[in-house]
Structure 1
Amino acid sequence: MDRIDRDEMLQKVELESSWHEGRDRSEKVGKGRRLWKKVKYQLVEYHCLPNYLKDNEYILGYYRSEWPLKQILFSTFTIHNETLNVWTHLVGFFLFLALTVYTAIMVPKVVDIQSLQQLPEVLKNADLHKLHSELVSCLPALPQLSHLQRLKNDLKSSLRTIDSLPSLSCWHLLELLSSCFPQRLAHGNQTNRGVAAEVANTIASLFVRPIPRWPFFAFLSGAMFCLLSSSACHLLSCHSRRLAYIMLRLDYAGIAALISTSFYPPVYYSFLCDPFLCHFYLGLITILGCTTVAVSLIPAFQEPEYRAVRAGLFFGMGLSGVVPVLHKLIAFRHQPEAVYTTGYELLMGLLYGFGALLYATRIPERWKPGKFDIAGHSHQLFHVLVVAGAFTHYRAGLVYLKWRDLEGC
């Protein structure tokens, strides 16, 4: 019995010893894993990166390297050398999304020209003296009473008298009507209020032509695609070699889309009355954009030594749009809108070109390596200039829409 009890005691001691050893081992493993996670998801320096993530040797630190997607998504709201690259274009995307919604809602839509047939009847029953005083108090830019009287007398036989009216901006008129009439005419006669609103809306419709909006929205779509794909590329490329390859191609496609669609509004609205030139220029810029995307699929295209080639290719693509812009300026040199839009397009080209120059030369970080790792390096400046250039082109697009809406073909 004594031997049996002694053997059992030894077995228990051995079991307890092995259990404690196992617990100590598991605690050490747990501590090691926690320490590895802390070290693994720390920012690293340039020399620690795998080759596919080495792009700019003048940015020395604050890199993310082969992080899991969960940690990458969280890094959207942390500080590293890609934070501003992500947010400059992400904010730009939401800006152009808001501009797209604003353009679709606030910019006057096409009004059926058949509504003009109702104008003589409306004016026939209107007291023009009272009507004019009410309209002018609300809308100072409205034509004089003599023009309204002449419109009432002559419109029954011809609509050509419309061309003799003073220039009137239907874009602002429609906006004023929605806010002005309910306030200024709220206490007036119900009939007069209805007649005033109907006359003013009909006058506004005189200046609207059925001009398609799709080229303008194509540009807005191209801008949003470029900005969103660029932001996603800078955020996700540090995950793995394969994902970096995919995101870089998507980024290049977005740049080509922005450049191509930027020329849709000027080409379409400038040569609206010449279908051959319109289709020729649109087809040419589209083919050039597709070719650029195809070239960007070549693996060697993303190598750091081809940085200048990448910048030059996209710069040359943008430079090709000079031909239709100059053609427009010569063909419509007497039109103020042609001069205004050309000024906007020159400014857009300067912003894009200067951004590409900074990107290719890696200024200012090449002057002081490591000083611009977080903020101020060339790629961030390039992003800001791209958003500024695209917004400049949006302003030019509004001028094109007003021009063609007022004058038609």
Structure 2
Amino acid sequence: MAAASSCIACNGTADEKEEKRKCELIGYEALPEWLKDNEFIHGYYRCEWPMKETILSIFSIHNETLNVWSHLIGFLLFLCLTIVTAMVIPRNGSSSRSSGSSTAYQLGDLVEMAKANMTVALRHEALAACFLLPPSAAAASAALSEDGQQIPTSCPPNTSSSHHHAIQIQGSTGNTAATMDAAGTGTTAADPITRWPLFAYLGGAMVCLLTSSACHLILCHSERTAYVTLRLDYAGIAALIATSFYPLAYYSFLCDRALQRLYMGSITAMGAAAVTASLVPAFQAPQLRPLRAALFSCMGASGALPIAHKLLLYGGTAPGAVASAGYEALMGALYALGVAVYAARVPERWAPGRFDLVGHSHQLFHLFVIAGAYAHYLAGVEYLKWRDVDKC
């Protein structure tokens, strides 16, 4: 690490820039006040680097490298989870393996479900032919599945002349998969349970992880940049906490809209208040670190009330309510441990300067956040299993 007396190594004259003088990493004592946050991390700081070099420093070694990459990788993980969830998890409870069991939501079902969806699509195409082709051609038409098996279209003899006749497409199990009328309108056996609360949570998690990664990467560029990115970082944390409540409140109280609106409205208001408080410049002061941790911890801890209420209502009758509460308890424990490490600034407090690059509290905090967010995703999957079977 180069020892520098100031943090303007990259902001010299034009001649110095033309010579491609390297940006230097400096020590804690050389930092301006707005960059001083953790006195137990002694070195490897970037300070007021040009934006280009600041962004490219994502590929170099400094005391923020792992902070940037941990949440960037976490963002990519949750992006993949969002895509897989949209592709694999069925949109209603019709694909459960048995009437008394919950729907299968394993990633290994992706290929099986893709084939099933292809078969349904071929059935619909064959059905459309019943209305577009002449009666003789429609009677002879048939679709072939991917494995070469014939798919019956069940076309009635008067299909081409009837505009209101309903046709039921039978699945391989004999259950009605869909009902199509002559106008092309489809209805399912049961209304699907909406997925938006789970996807809202996944969106909130991705916003939190991405804004955190961006903040740790470019906040050293200037005091103004630090101010803006830190505000975005706090807003991302509030978004993660608030959207974490949406699957909990929506699915737990699906049968009681008043309670559902009460809990969802309350956490949304708390999230907005947290973002507003984060806009106050004094909120970023290092001495207010415990207050920042306490604010967001209280937001998260408020989730204990709807969880307890859910268990009181369904704990003895709905295994899904208990399973989701277990994942939520794990999430809370991971978040609480992460916040405790963040506020206490361990282990660097015990050995100042030895954890500058690897192992300091903020890096550990990031890992706990990702683990807790994933535990809550698993809770969301349990909610879908539960409510796809036990609808109101």
TM range (shorter): 0.7 to 0.9
**Structure 1 residues 36 and 304, CA, compared in 2 at 3 Å: closer, same or farther?**
farther
Where does 1:129-148 land on structure 2 (aligned, <5 Å)? none
Q: What letter corresponds to residue 350 of structure 1 in structure 2? A: A
Using the size of structure 1 for normalisation, the TM-score is 0.74
1:63 aligns with 2:45: yes
Q: Structure 2: which amino acid aligns with 1:390?
A: A
Among 347, 350, 360, the alignment partner of 1:377 is 360
Deviation sequence 1:349-406 (CA, Å, 0-9, x none): 0111100000000000000111111111000000011011111111110110121111
Picking from 174, 184, 187, the partner of 1:199 is: 174
Deviation at 1:142, TM superposition (A): 6.1
Query: Quick one: distance in 1 between partners of 2:82 and 2:312?
Result: 31
Shift of the alpha carbon at 1:34?
6.2
Residues 109 and 366 of structure 1, relative CA distance in 2, 3 Å threshold: same
Unaligned runs of 5+ in 1: 1-28, 114-138, 144-164
SS at match of 1:367: coil
Whole-Å Cα distance in 2 between the matches of residues 168 and 314 of structure 1? 35
Other-structure match for 2:81: 99
Specify which structure has the higher proportion of helix.
Answer: 1
Match of 2:32 among 50, 63, 77: 50
Counterpart in 2 of 1:17?
A: none
Alpha-carbon distance, 1:185 to partner: 9.2
Q: Which residue of structure 2 lines up, in the alignment, with residue 357 of structure 1?
A: 340
C-alpha contact (below 8 Å) 2:347/2:360 kept by paired residues: yes
Which of 261, 264, 274 aligns to 2:243? It is 261
Q: How many residues align?
A: 331
The change in CA–CA distance for 1:174 and 1:195 in structure 2 (over 3 A counts) is farther
The one-letter amino acid of 2:385's match is K
Equivalent of 2:220, from 238, 253, 256? 238
**Are the structure 2 counterparts of residues 178 and 69 from structure 1 closer, same or farther at C-alpha, using a change threshold of 3 Å?**
closer
The separation in 1 between residues aligned to 2:325 and 2:296, in whole angstroms, is 21
1:186 shift after superposition? 3.5
Q: Whose Rg is larger? A: 1
2:147 maps to 1:186: yes
Match of 2:297 among 303, 308, 315: 315
TM-aligned CA distance change 1:385 to 1:188, over 3 Å = same
Structure-2 change in CA distance of 1:195 and 1:211 (3 Å): closer
- Structure 2: stretches of 5+ with no match in the other structure: 1-11, 120-143, 154-168, 179-186
Equivalent in the alignment of 2:386: 403
> 1:399 is aligned with what amino acid?
E
Higher RCO, Cα 8 Å, sep 6+: 1
Question: How far apart are the structure 2 equivalents of 1:322 and 1:304?
Answer: 29
Residue identity opposite 2:354 in structure 1 = K
User: Which residue identity does 1:186 align to in structure 2?
Assistant: D
TM-score, length of structure 2 as denominator length: 0.77
| 8 A contact 2:97–2:103 mirrored in 1 | no
1:80-106 alpha-carbon deviations (Å, 9 max, x no partner) = 000000000001111111111111222
The structure-2 alpha-carbon separation of the partners of 1:201 and 1:79, relative to structure 1 and needing over 3 Å to count, comes to: farther
Aligned to 1:109: 91
Quick one: structure 1 residues 343 and 169, their matched pair in 2 at CA, closer, same or farther if it must change by over 3 Å? same
Aligned CA RMSD, in angstroms, stands at 3.1
Checking the alignment, whether the CA contact within 8 Å between 2:64 and 2:216 is kept in structure 1 is: yes
